[in-house]
Structure 1
Amino acid sequence: MTEIAPDAGFHQNKKLKDALLQHAPLSAAGLSERLFGLLFSGLVYAQIWEDPEVDMEAMALSENHRIVTIGSGGCNMLAYLSRRPASIDVVDLNPNHVALNRLKLTAFRHLPDHAAVLSFLGTAGDRGNLALFDRHIAPHLDETSHRYWQQRGLTGRRRVSVFTRNIYRTGLLGRFITIGHLLARAHGVRLEEMVETKSLREQRHVFDTRIAPLFDRPFVRWLTARKSSLFGLGIPPQQYDELAGLSEEGTIAPILRHRLEKLACYFPLKDNPFAWQAFARRYPRPEEGRMPTYLQPQHHEAIRDCADRVTVHHAGFTELLMAKPAGTVDRFVLLDAQDWMTPRQLNELWTEITRTAAPGARVIFRTAAEVSVLNGKLSDSLLEQWSYLADQSAALDKRDRSAIYGGFHIYEKRPA
């Protein structure tokens, strides 16, 4: 599993190209895939957008479990450590995410206390964070990650200086959210109005009267009808086509509206850090609401003590599993990666999942549509070895505070 430099372009990242490219280069679909790949080659997610509380309940996560998960922004991997699992293997095809995951782990291992971790990873930024990095984090980073965070951009600032501002406003998704705020402002709406509300009733009022009407504006409808305009959400062409197929209008505007409604209206703002990131572009202050799981003080000791149980790999999921002995993984976390996959890739993945699954193993994942992506794509010989926990999947989907997916799914290994 050879690593490439985090700054390598899409054309150099064979792992990502193999996962993403499915059509001829000069076809419309092929051009769309390559444009998405170029955008996806940089940092995409500074924060993961799957609810770790839902994940941990779905996995029935305990201290003896060995986990393989996709890294993304690294928040959920850290949250899982609050349950003190035996080990976590983190995989990601994007080397920028690998560098971020390793930085976050090193911060927990070596920063002096929870206050320092919160300052570095959870606030809108503090100039003192550079001193924290230089003194406590940089000496303990691997060579590739150290070079990545020390590299200087066109402004002359080191990349790590983003932690003196607000890292969650960076990356592809962070910039997309910023554009969404600017677009709303151009139509006379401040999305920050949502976090000024005091109750679910007020949240509903702001959404119905201020935010929902934006989706009927001609320019917004035109924009959401174009695949490339949604690449900033991390939605690849395959996912866009699936979402658009759910709408009578053939665009994803109604689906985006519904999912933003769930984010805005279904959970109290004080309990939903995902909503704070969407509507305020920051996490709440202590008096405003709850921080994400991995930054809550009661979990700091467990995460710090167990951080050495994590290994971060620049690799694909199937690639990593192929190197593991049979029956050695208890929990698999696939995020929404299967929405990208062809039936061949899905069957290769689940062949390795099934081979490496320990008795009673569970697989969790999310999908753009409501139904499981395995339906009609996974071979019967593989599917019959797993039980679909439909009721628990549906119940936990309703409680997922990030609210951006159509379905949440849990599969459990059947007894041999």
Structure 2
Amino acid sequence: MALAHAKTRHIAVRNAVHQHDEFSKQGLLERAFTFAFRGLVYAQIWEDPVVDLEALQLGPGMHLVTIASGGCNVLSYLTADPARITAVDLNTAHVALGKLKLAAARHLPDQASFHRFFADADSPANVTAYKAHVAPHLDQVSRDYWEGRDPIGRKRIGGFARNFYRRGLLGSFIITGQWLARAYGIDTRKMLAAKTLEEQREIFETSFAPLFEKKFVRWLTSNPAALFGLGIPPAQYQALLGDAPDMASVLRARLEKLSCDFAVSDNYFAWQAFGRGYGKHPAAPLPPYLQAKHHAAVAARTDRVDYRHANFIDFLAGQPAASCDRYVLLDAQDWMTDAQLTELWTQITRTARPGARVLFRTAAEPTLLPGRIPDELLARWHYADEDSARFTSADRSSIYGGVHLYTLNAA
């Protein structure tokens, strides 16, 4: 369960993450985290696109700027028919994954082959389809990435023949968590067989909750490096911990929400967390871009998406004033210094059109902007506190402390 998908899509990685002397304990943790996040991190993004679309009120004629991450939400936003989406990321693997999804949506022969490629993601036919229909339409950098080899020598495109959702740093972390659960006699997939919320609650209370009382689990989660696979850098670890007695208590509460607040029949995040992939049955929950009813629209609108291997602030700095309508920052701000936050919001405010909206998430519950950026800059924006609380409750990924919406005040 990823707490911060923006993690390598982050804005100015080194300056944001490396905030301590390199030879200090904290500095060594920060550099270890940066090293861990060089490759693919998120095979699937962990922000709920249904919540995003409601909060953003995205529509025709609008220009959305977002951090790309795994690309699921970028394609899902196309269902709202925006004029333009710019997806920026500093992680080359995430940019390559986004471009692969665009080319596949545009050039695979039908919805069934697209579904097999990204919903099943575990068939040798996907590699054949890649060679015949997708590879010829990829830019050379993206093609070199997918036809290159990962650190243990596997061709990266081969991941789609062997469950791609087991790949990436987060995928490895979840697999490790499942192994740990099995060591204590717990089958995580049992949750996916529950028929009611009551059954889900019973499974959580009897199987999962006791895990967080185990001495080894409490010791393990007290080490910030152990949570790198969740996308939690050292600075965000402290924000996530907040006033809680320990990290095991925090993680227990987040897993409780995922397990008990939403029916697994309607929550593909639960399927990823407990089963490491999407469900195979016809009614299995899926992100919007993989739903059959949206395929034609998504495929027809892929030319509206522009992927940039770029820094979010730098991209905005190159845009004209009043040229953007919507901004999605994921949780990247959790990494940032006050100076970086001020620079970011200065560019957002400069490029925002009337009625602009900014959506972001935080590890801790409160919005992090008050006291961090100048009052006169923050005064340009209205914090939708009641809506933000509602969006936080509704986010099916259940891994963030807060989902926050800001709207531009009238001049």
TM-score range, shorter chain: over 0.9
Aligned to 2:3: none
In the alignment, structure 1 residue 361 sits paired with structure 2 residue 356: yes
Aligned to 2:81: 84
Matching residue within 141, 144, 147 for 1:150: 147
Aligned to 2:388: 393
Superposition pairs for residues 10-409 of structure 1, below 5 Å?
A: 15-153=12-150, 157-247=154-244, 249=245, 251-287=246-282, 289-409=284-404
Query: Alpha-carbon deviation of 1:288?
Result: 5.1
Query: Alpha-carbon deviation of 1:245?
Result: 2.7
Query: Alpha-carbon deviation of 1:158?
Result: 2.2
Q: Which whole-Å CA distance do the structure 2 matches of 1:244 and 1:394 have between them?
A: 19
Query: Alpha-carbon deviation of 1:287?
Result: 3.7
Give unmatched runs, 5+ long, in structure 1. Answer: 1-9
The 8 Å contact of residues 82 and 294 in structure 1, kept in 2 or not, is answered as: yes
User: How many pairs does the alignment contain?
Assistant: 403
Query: Alpha-carbon deviation of 1:83?
Result: 1.1
Query: Alpha-carbon deviation of 1:236?
Result: 0.8
Aligned to 2:4: none
AA aligned to 1:203 is: Q
Give the 3 Å change call, closer, same or farther, for CA 243–152 of structure 1 in structure 2.
closer
The 8 Å contact of residues 319 and 351 in structure 2, kept in 1 or not, is answered as: yes
Q: Which whole-Å CA distance do the structure 2 matches of 1:154 and 1:72 have between them?
A: 20
Q: Which whole-Å CA distance do the structure 1 matches of 2:389 and 2:349 have between them?
A: 23
Give the 3 Å change call, closer, same or farther, for CA 373–153 of structure 1 in structure 2.
closer
AA aligned to 2:211 is: L
Give the 3 Å change call, closer, same or farther, for CA 209–307 of structure 1 in structure 2.
same
The secondary structure found in structure 2 opposite 1:345 is helix
The secondary structure found in structure 1 opposite 2:85 is strand
Q: Which runs of 4+ in 1 moved over 3 A?
A: 152-157
Query: Alpha-carbon deviation of 1:272?
Result: 0.1
Query: Alpha-carbon deviation of 1:372?
Result: 0.2
Q: Which whole-Å CA distance do the structure 2 matches of 1:153 and 1:29 have between them?
A: 29
Aligned to 2:410: 415
Give the 3 Å change call, closer, same or farther, for CA 253–157 of structure 1 in structure 2.
closer
The secondary structure found in structure 2 opposite 1:128 is helix
The 8 Å contact of residues 67 and 88 in structure 1, kept in 2 or not, is answered as: yes
The secondary structure found in structure 2 opposite 1:42 is coil
AA aligned to 1:206 is: I
Query: Which structure's relative contact order is higher, taking Cα pairs within 8 Å and 6+ residues apart?
Result: 2
Q: Which whole-Å CA distance do the structure 2 matches of 1:389 and 1:155 have between them?
A: 47
- Between the aligned residues of both structures, percent identity stands at 52
Q: Which whole-Å CA distance do the structure 1 matches of 2:152 and 2:232 have between them?
A: 30
The 8 Å contact of residues 269 and 289 in structure 1, kept in 2 or not, is answered as: no
Spell out, residue by residue over 1:259-299, the C-alpha distance to the aligned partner (whole angstroms, 9 max, x if none).
10110110010100000000011101234532121100111
Q: Which whole-Å CA distance do the structure 2 matches of 1:153 and 1:38 have between them?
A: 15
RMSD over aligned Cα atoms: 1.5
Q: Which whole-Å CA distance do the structure 2 matches of 1:95 and 1:331 have between them?
A: 24
Give unmatched runs, 5+ long, in structure 2. Answer: 1-7
Query: Alpha-carbon deviation of 1:19?
Result: 3.1
Q: Which whole-Å CA distance do the structure 1 matches of 2:12 and 2:241 have between them?
A: 27
The secondary structure found in structure 2 opposite 1:364 is strand
The secondary structure found in structure 1 opposite 2:365 is coil
Q: Which whole-Å CA distance do the structure 2 matches of 1:94 and 1:380 have between them?
A: 32
Spell out, residue by residue over 1:219-253, the C-alpha distance to the aligned partner (whole angstroms, 9 max, x if none).
00000000000001011111101122331x2x211
Query: Alpha-carbon deviation of 1:157?
Result: 4.3
The secondary structure found in structure 1 opposite 2:124 is coil
